[in-house]
Chain A
Amino acid sequence: MSTASTALADPQSRVRPATASRRTRHSWGRHTPLWLLIPAAAVLLPLFAYPIYQLGLLSVLDFRQAQVSGGEPTRFVGFDNYLTLLRDGKFWSVLLATVAFAAACVAATLAVGAALAVLLTRVSRWPGYALSFAAMAAWAAPAITGSTVWMFLFDANLGLVNQVLGLAGYNWTYDPYSTFALVGAVVVWHSFPFVMVTLYAGIRAIPGQVLEAAALDGASHWRSFRQIVVPMIRPLLVIVVIQSIIWDFKVFTQIYVMTSGGGIAGQNLTLNV
């Protein structure tokens, strides 16, 4: 608050000559964007840019426990750390696992989200409300509580899933593949509502006449979807894909909670930093 008002109370605004009100937005004053950006810069430069720079610096130093406590001086080692990492076979398998896992999550999220967005445009009022509410609930559930309840549902003995399927004692988080599938399901459950809600808003914004005209010309549902709906919501699709990739590559909480930060299946890149 105080930063914001100080930034605005620059002396110029008080001594501004009466003639300054020209017709364009330049009448805001020449340096206004600068003042407006100062609070953001004051937060982001030290707390975001500087740590990234530090990270780069640390990566070319020999920096261990002894240096952290100040016992030994830091030593420049060039790209040795990178070479160690790149030569480590485990790094590559973890990298591969991360990319495969994230790609699968993104694909599934987009497929489920898009399919449900289309479904939402076709259903009657109350099922529509029900679906919207359910999606909101899944979206709002914090990653940590969402993962927790899924873990309870898939608990080896007390979980509903195993009891219904008669798999008492089967541990879903023991086998790497079933763990990835389970964590993936939670990630998709958490992230499909964003895709669904955004695409639904986009589809609803398409003028009805366009689709009617296509139907009159004999276009099938699928064809009008592919050739009219998709091109018209392309900008939204792009943003949804970008955001999904950004979010799914950074999945950490779900994996951390569900595998207790390790084990056979904890081999995700974000955990190895």
Chain B
Amino acid sequence: MTATVVALVTVFPIYWMLLSALKPAGEVQSLSQKPWTLAPTLDNFRRVLGAEGFARYLVNSLLVALVVVVLSGLVAFLAAVALTRFRFRFRGTILVMFLVAQMVPIEALTIPLFFLIRDVGTVVPQVGLNTLGSLVLVHLAFTLPFAIWMLRGFVAAIPEELEEAALLDGASRRTVLWRILFPLVAPGLAATSVFSFIVAWNDFLFARTFIISAADNQTLPMALLVFFKPDENDWGGIMAASVLMTVPVLAFFILVQKRLVSGLGGAVKD
């Protein structure tokens, strides 16, 4: 009973978002809101997707998030193997640094990063200001510490005998890494990538800072803010845009849900 009530309260904002997105304009901007609608319509979605650039921003956001997920997964996998399978000097220091790195508020680094990206852009225009490449770079940097930290648990859970046997049989290190370890870690990698996806998908601070003049390279969160107007917010449009922004993340979460739990538990073990 209690659980059902808590579940309803928790999910209510999500329900309200979906409901308001489906309501006709008159019912959304109403002084007597009803928790249901008898005339569901896709008008809000049509308006949002028809709005200038929205579809484009959606593609940009997906592109940035997916590139970040793939790159951060690969890099984190290699680093996690190094930090779980080997004992070397400074290993402990490196581990602690990854934990400390997670505590750095990224907002504080916006200004130095802006200068860095501006300067790099003069040499490599693909990752300079106003490019999606710059967003990929910074998100990669901010997702790595947590991804490595969490992946360690998954790598540690694989019996070392597997690699040793393969090495004894004459397999090269590359084979061991990509043919044995990687497939076994893959489910954990999927769980870890949710967090990388969220960081890249949700960000609007860097999108706002780096993408100054190239409107074509804007991302979804900025598009959402466009629907806010002083005193006359288009709530139907805002809610439809919010639904479009929430669905990919929710789908991703449900897909990897089981792995997520074991991964969070695994991050604890050393």
Contact residues of A with B, CB < 8 Å? 1, 3-4, 7-9, 13, 16, 21, 23-25, 27-29, 32-34, 36-37, 39-40, 43-44, 46-48, 50-52, 54-55, 58, 116, 119-120, 123, 127-128, 130-131, 133-146, 148-150, 152-153, 155, 157-160, 163, 168, 189, 194, 197-198, 200-202, 205, 235-236, 238-239, 242, 246, 249-250, 252-253, 270-271, 273
B101–A157 CB distance below 8 A: no
By a CB distance below 8 angstroms, the chain B residues around A238 are 268
By a CB distance below 8 angstroms, the chain B residues around A144 are 202, 204, 221, 224, 245
A50-B116, A55-B109, A152-B16 given; A201·B262 CB < 8 A: yes
Q: Which of these binds chain A: B44-52, B69-77, B210-218?
A: B69-77
By a CB distance below 8 angstroms, the chain B residues around A29 are 173
Q: Which size class do B's interface residues fall under?
A: 35 or more
Cβ of A240 to closest chain B Cβ, rounded Å: 9
Name which residue of chain A comes closest to B75, CB basis: A39
A138–B10 CB distance below 8 A: yes
- A250 to B101 alpha-carbon distance, docked (Å): 13
Cβ of A44 to closest chain B Cβ, rounded Å: 6
The B interface, classified by DSSP as helix, strand, loop or mixed, is helix
B3–A131 CB distance below 8 A: yes
B4–A152 CB distance below 8 A: no
Cβ of B164 to closest chain A Cβ, rounded Å: 7
Which one of A37, A133, A155, A189 contacts B7 once the chains associate, using CB atoms below 8 Å?
Answer: A133
Name which residue of chain B comes closest to A146, CB basis: B13
Name which residue of chain B comes closest to A38, CB basis: B78
B265–A119 CB distance below 8 A: no
A37–B261 CB distance below 8 A: no
- A143 to B71 alpha-carbon distance, docked (Å): 23
- A24 to B165 alpha-carbon distance, docked (Å): 10
B174–A13 CB distance below 8 A: yes
- A218 to B76 alpha-carbon distance, docked (Å): 49
A150–B13 CB distance below 8 A: yes
- A271 to B140 alpha-carbon distance, docked (Å): 23
Name which residue of chain B comes closest to A269, CB basis: B105
B116–A152 CB distance below 8 A: no
Tell yes or no: B112 within 8 A of A by CB.
Answer: yes
Which one of A7, A123, A137, A148 contacts B3 once the chains associate, using CB atoms below 8 Å?
Answer: A123
By a CB distance below 8 angstroms, the chain A residues around B172 are 13, 16
Tell yes or no: B124 within 8 A of A by CB.
Answer: no
Cβ of A124 to closest chain B Cβ, rounded Å: 9
Residue pairs across A and B with Cβ atoms less than 8 A apart, 21 shown, are: A13-B174, A21-B170, A25-B85, A28-B86, A28-B176, A36-B79, A37-B94, A40-B75, A40-B76, A46-B116, A47-B138, A51-B109, A52-B109, A131-B3, A138-B13, A138-B14, A139-B253, A145-B242, A198-B261, A239-B267, A271-B107
A3–B75 CB distance below 8 A: yes
By a CB distance below 8 angstroms, the chain B residues around A36 are 78-79, 81-82
B173–A153 CB distance below 8 A: no
A4-B75, A144-B245 given; A32·B33 CB < 8 A: no
13 extra A-B contacts, CB within 8 A, seeds A142-B246, A148-B224, A160-B35: A8-B177, A28-B85, A29-B173, A43-B75, A48-B142, A51-B112, A145-B246, A197-B264, A239-B268, A246-B102, A252-B105, A270-B108, A273-B107
- A181 to B148 alpha-carbon distance, docked (Å): 34
Name which residue of chain A comes closest to B249, CB basis: A140
Name which residue of chain A comes closest to B28, CB basis: A158
B81–A55 CB distance below 8 A: no
For chains A and B in complex, what number of residue pairs have CB atoms within 8 angstroms?
A: 262
Contact residues of B with A, CB < 8 Å? 1-4, 6-8, 10-11, 13-14, 16-17, 20, 28-33, 35, 70-71, 74-76, 78-79, 81-83, 85-86, 88, 91, 94, 99, 101-113, 115-116, 137-138, 140-142, 144-145, 148, 160, 163-164, 167-168, 170, 172-174, 176-177, 198, 201-202, 204-205, 221, 224, 233, 235, 238-239, 242-243, 245-246, 249-250, 252-254, 257, 260-262, 264-265, 267-269
Which one of A25, A34, A250 contacts B105 once the chains associate, using CB atoms below 8 Å?
Answer: A250
A-B pairs, top 3 by smallest CB distance, nearest first, are A47-B141, A36-B82, A54-B112
Which one of B14, B177, B262, B268 contacts A137 once the chains associate, using CB atoms below 8 Å?
Answer: B14
Cβ of B169 to closest chain A Cβ, rounded Å: 9
- A200 to B250 alpha-carbon distance, docked (Å): 20
A142–B31 CB distance below 8 A: no
B113–A51 CB distance below 8 A: yes
Name which residue of chain B comes closest to A47, CB basis: B141
B140–A47 CB distance below 8 A: yes
A3-B75, A252-B107 given; A149·B160 CB < 8 A: no
